[in-house]
Amino acid sequence: METDDETGRGGVAALSLPSRIAVAVGAAVVATAAAVHLAMVFLHVAPANSVSKQYASAIGDYVYPEYEQNWKLFAPNPLQQNVAVQARAELLGPDGRTTLTGWTDLTAEDGAAIRHNPFPSHAQQNELRRAWDFYTGSHDAQEVPNGVRGRLSEQYVRRIAVRRLDARNSGLPIRRVQVRSVTTTVQPPPWSEEKPSNAPAYRVLAWWPVAADDLAEARQ
């Protein structure tokens, strides 16, 4: 009886018919997935056109957050700082007195949830970071909002802070929240001659009153 080696057949040709069908189906699935991925990323980075506008929602759902294109990684101005967003609350006790909580590092909590997690959630990866980018991009150095977008960004950041802090305040209602960012410089490699400052820079926002709508949204 002839063997596959005797007939000179090898590779896929040496497989049984069911195995060849499985290989063909697998190759087709991989090729299709690769084509879809390339098409989605291309439409995301390409100039706006009729196709990208019509399917903008689907493209955005596919690209974010895993395949986001972020120019902060590249020249001319690569991101060289770590920005941590922290928050604290003023709580109202049953006797009418108020107490302040300590600062909670919301960014560190997200980092801990992502670390060693092969499938981190979209919220853990992007919610806080994007909310803070939204705020800083719509406010000037004196924290004056730039129209409706600025006020909307304040509400967004405030509600994230309320939701995060409300879960740990022993049931006491939150009267106000305060948010700040702590920016530290990423240290250069040992061979670099750069001498950046190690001192953190703080951006402390004013206290924001917490409305009933904020608490209702946080507890949904």
Q: Is the pLDDT of residue 2 over 50?
A: no
Q: Dig out the tokens for 182 from the structure.
A: 């702590």
Is residue 70 in a domain? no
Write the pLDDT tens digit of every residue in 38-68: 998 888 878 888 888 888 888 888 887 666 6
Could you tell me if 21 and 123 lie in one domain? no
Q: Is the pLDDT of residue 73 over 90?
A: no
Q: How many domains does the chain have?
A: 2
Read off the pLDDT band of 8 (50, 70, 90). low
Separation of alpha carbons 91 and 55, rounded Å: 45
Q: For residue 37, give the nearest of 47, 49, 29, 26 by alpha carbon.
A: 29
Is residue 73 in a domain? no
DSSP structure string for 70-110: -GGGSSSS---EEEEEEEEEEEEPTTS-EEEPPPEEHHHHH
Coil, strand or helix at 136? helix
Could you tell me if 16 and 119 lie in one domain? no
Write the pLDDT tens digit of every residue in 79-131: 678 899 999 999 988 888 999 999 999 999 999 999 988 888 877 888 999 99
Write the pLDDT tens digit of every residue in 191-218: 877 777 788 999 999 999 998 888 777 6
Chain position carrying tokens 């022993």: 170
Is residue 211 in a domain? yes
Could you tell me if 57 and 88 lie in one domain? no
Provide the pLDDT for residue 68.
66
Read off the pLDDT band of 1 (50, 70, 90). very low
Q: Is the pLDDT of residue 12 over 70?
A: no
Is residue 103 in a domain? yes
Provide the pLDDT for residue 70.
61
Could you tell me if 59 and 120 lie in one domain? no
Q: Is the pLDDT of residue 181 over 90?
A: yes
- Give Cα separations from 73 to 81, 195, 209 (angstroms): 11, 21, 36
Could you tell me if 95 and 203 lie in one domain? yes
Supply the Cα-derived Rg of the chain in whole angstroms. 26
Could you tell me if 199 and 128 lie in one domain? yes
Is residue 46 in a domain? yes
Provide the pLDDT for residue 104.
95
Q: Is the pLDDT of residue 4 over 60?
A: no
Provide the pLDDT for residue 144.
94
Is residue 119 in a domain? yes
Q: Show the domain range for 10.
A: 4-63
